[in-house]
Chains A and B, each alone.
Chain A
Amino acid sequence: MNVKSLVTIKGIKDGLVFLLDDACELDELLDELEAKLARHEQQLAGPIVHIQIKLGSRQLTEEDKERIRSIIRKQGNFVVQSIESDPVPVGPADYSAYKVQTVTGMVRSGQTLEHEGHLLLLGDVNPGGTVRSTGDIYIMGALRGVAHAGCAGHTEAIITASLMKPTQLRIAEVISRPPDEWASSEPWMEYAYLQDGNMQIDKMAHLHHNRNRALQAKGV
């Protein structure tokens, strides 16, 4: 017998929530669900009860969902309201799997450049223009518009530009608005990153501390 139950039933305001384990075999899960319902048959007779089913990270086909519904339907007064899975994470789970891709051109006012992975842009981003990337954004040129790195939710993304004069910077869900929140007038190249949910600006030379990557350079 499992230590932890595969099926957890919780009462909410307008019915019941079934939390189904997402790590075990589906058949095992269905058996337990059936057993659990059979055991409670007496208590569960009565007025109509709405059921919400949460599958966790498990993704099911319509066929399998129908199997769950048919098990629950055996309890005459149960109505399945929804069967939900957690949203699928976008992009590679491992951020380091992203590749750098080079794009040449200017992003002018009213234009949006969207990109998957790390973006190396050779050109300017003008005020009113937007670059959006699921990975890092490196701009060899002036950033005067909006840059949104890690737009699928990666908080380790960074933004850097030869000339850092953005209207707005965004990393994952965090939005920062210079110069109210930070101003850059340093002569060296800088990058923006997230630290504890806040946008920070630092010298490019400090990036490797942040990422804990030592360079294996040749030489004595």
Chain B
Amino acid sequence: MGEAIVVTSGKGGVGKTTTSANVGTALALMGKKVCMIDTDIGLRNLDVVMGLENRIIYDLIDVAEGRCRLNQALVKDKRFDELYMLPAAQTKDKNDISPDQVRKIVEELKPDFDYVIIDCPAGIEQGFRNAIAGADHAIVVTTPENAAVRDADRVIGLLEKTSISQPRLVINRIRPNLLKSGDMLEVDDIIQVLAIDLIGIVPDDEDVIKAANQGEPTVMNPNSRAAMAYRNVARRILGETVPLMHLDEKAGVFKRMRKFLGMG
């Protein structure tokens, strides 16, 4: 029996879909059988980030309304045999499906997969309630900005009222140079306010944007810093103890040499 993890944030644009796609792919890379569900009905993106848009035949609403069987709607990934995606409908909206219907679909998927990753839409309305309905665990994504932390706090409050276990936190899009100059919220400050376990910090990385536009999750690129961070998140989900990465480690040989000579 697998476990269902919802990826949520409250605020939009903090990287829920990117996190879902990369953590899902990273888990598949480690040999797990993974299904990703896009619950952002009407504004589906997960398929675009995964580069699977042109393979969609049926979607989540089709399954919920019984127009097709569940495994007919699952889109198999082009890179991994054990990675599947259940796309959202683009022509409907959030009210066209109920939390109970989503719960039923997730329950049906769990026996066949090790992990079911649910990509949640922004907001705390119907779409949010749908997404968290079938989840056992939650990952809350935030960025080091006050507005994002505020919304994450709101969402954690809502999650704590459900049967979902204590949510875990991903801090996304950290810019080490802003951190150093003190112009960005510190990781420690964010954890102190939100008071939940940290499961990963992800540095801001241009490769993520490039990769998303090519329909190729960043984790596939071993040279990307963000890829390493997402792989670490996946390893922590599997129960490994992985130390947090150092954010300013990227200094190249040349820069380190300059630093050594007291010029940096």
Tell me the A residues contacting B by CB distance below 8 Å.
Answer: 106, 108-111, 124, 126-129, 142, 144
When C-beta atoms are compared, the residue in chain A nearest to B161 turns out to be A111
Does B156 count as interface, using CB distance less than 8 angstroms? yes
B157 with A109: CB separation less than 8 A: yes
> Is chain B's binding surface mostly helix, strand, loop or mixed?
helix
Question: Which of A110, A124, A128 has the most chain B CB atoms inside 10 A of its CB?
Answer: A110
- Find chain B residues with CB under 8 A from A129 CB: 153
Does B150 count as interface, using CB distance less than 8 angstroms? yes
When C-beta atoms are compared, the residue in chain B nearest to A144 turns out to be B193
Does B151 count as interface, using CB distance less than 8 angstroms? yes
CB < 8 Å neighbour of B154 from A106, A110, A142, A144: A110
B195 with A109: CB separation less than 8 A: no
Shortest 3 CB-CB contacts between residues of A and residues of B: A108-B157, A109-B153, A109-B154
CB 8 Å contact bits of B179-222 with A (1 = contact, 0 = none): 00000000000001111000000000000000000000000000
CB 8 Å contact bits of B136-164 with A (1 = contact, 0 = none): 00000000001000110110111010000
B195 with A128: CB separation less than 8 A: no
- Find chain A residues with CB under 8 A from B158 CB: 110
Cα A126 to Cα B192 with chains together (Å): 10
The 20 sampled A-B contact pairs (Cβ below 8 Å) are A106-B195, A108-B154, A108-B156, A108-B157, A108-B160, A109-B157, A110-B157, A110-B158, A111-B157, A124-B195, A126-B153, A126-B193, A126-B194, A127-B150, A127-B153, A128-B150, A128-B154, A129-B153, A142-B192, A144-B193
Cα A110 to Cα B153 with chains together (Å): 9
Report the minimum CB–CB distance from A56 to chain B (whole Å): 46
- Find chain A residues with CB under 8 A from B150 CB: 109, 127-128
- Find chain B residues with CB under 8 A from A126 CB: 153, 193-194
The A/B interface has a contact count, at CB < 8 Å, of: 31
Report the minimum CB–CB distance from B197 to chain A (whole Å): 14
- Find chain B residues with CB under 8 A from A108 CB: 153-154, 156-157, 160
Cα A50 to Cα B178 with chains together (Å): 71
Cα A109 to Cα B148 with chains together (Å): 12
CB < 8 Å neighbour of A128 from B153, B160, B194: B153
- Find chain A residues with CB under 8 A from B160 CB: 108
B193 with A127: CB separation less than 8 A: yes
When C-beta atoms are compared, the residue in chain B nearest to A163 turns out to be B192
Report the minimum CB–CB distance from A63 to chain B (whole Å): 47
Report the minimum CB–CB distance from A146 to chain B (whole Å): 13
Report the minimum CB–CB distance from B125 to chain A (whole Å): 13
Cα A110 to Cα B151 with chains together (Å): 9
Report the minimum CB–CB distance from A185 to chain B (whole Å): 16
Cα A109 to Cα B193 with chains together (Å): 10
Cα A179 to Cα B217 with chains together (Å): 45
Report the minimum CB–CB distance from A9 to chain B (whole Å): 57
Q: Given contact pairs A127-B193, A142-B192, enumerate 18 new A-B contacts (beta carbons under 8 Å).
A: A106-B157, A108-B153, A109-B150, A109-B151, A109-B153, A110-B154, A110-B157, A110-B158, A111-B157, A124-B193, A126-B153, A126-B193, A126-B194, A127-B146, A128-B150, A128-B153, A129-B153, A144-B193
Question: Which of B150, B153, B157, B158 has the most chain A CB atoms inside 10 A of its CB?
Answer: B153
Cα A127 to Cα B146 with chains together (Å): 10
When C-beta atoms are compared, the residue in chain B nearest to A107 turns out to be B157
Cα A218 to Cα B192 with chains together (Å): 39
When C-beta atoms are compared, the residue in chain A nearest to B157 turns out to be A108
